[in-house]
Amino acid sequence: MFELKTLGLFLITAVAEIVGCYLPYLWLKQDKSIWLLIPAAMSLALFAWLLSLHPTAAGRVYAAYGGVYIFVAVLWLWAVDGIRPTTWDLVGSSVALLGMAIIMFAPRGS
């Protein structure tokens, strides 16, 4: 159960970070409203808070989170940007998720 909660929290965290970065991108690159910066800042604050909820060392959380971020970014590429991931995108994000699992769930001595 710990593993599912950790993965779920990482997934929500990654979405918060990507939204927080995507909204300013829309303003800067696609001439959307500057008002998008307000929900972007809120999303990035949520991202930082969500990372703090993990019950393990911050450095380990940050390292492992990167693997989930890569996976969610590839999903974002497909769902939002409308670009189907290549086989190599899927292989790379699978390797990143494997790295996350090793970092977060490997047995540790006391």
What's 52's DSSP letter?
T
Predicted model pTM? 0.89
In sign, the C-alpha dihedral spanning 78, 69, 20, 47 is positive
What is the predicted pLDDT for the residue at 57?
86
Residues written for the chain: 110
Mean pLDDT in consecutive groups of 10 residues from the start of the chain, 110 residues = 89 97 97 98 97 88 93 97 97 96 86
Beta-carbon contacts of residue 73 (< 8 Å; ≥ 6 apart)? 14, 18, 93
* CA angle at 34 for the pair 32 and 40, rounded to the nearest 5°: 95
Q: Quick one: residue 86, left, alpha or beta (phi over 0 = left, psi -120 to 50 = alpha)? A: beta
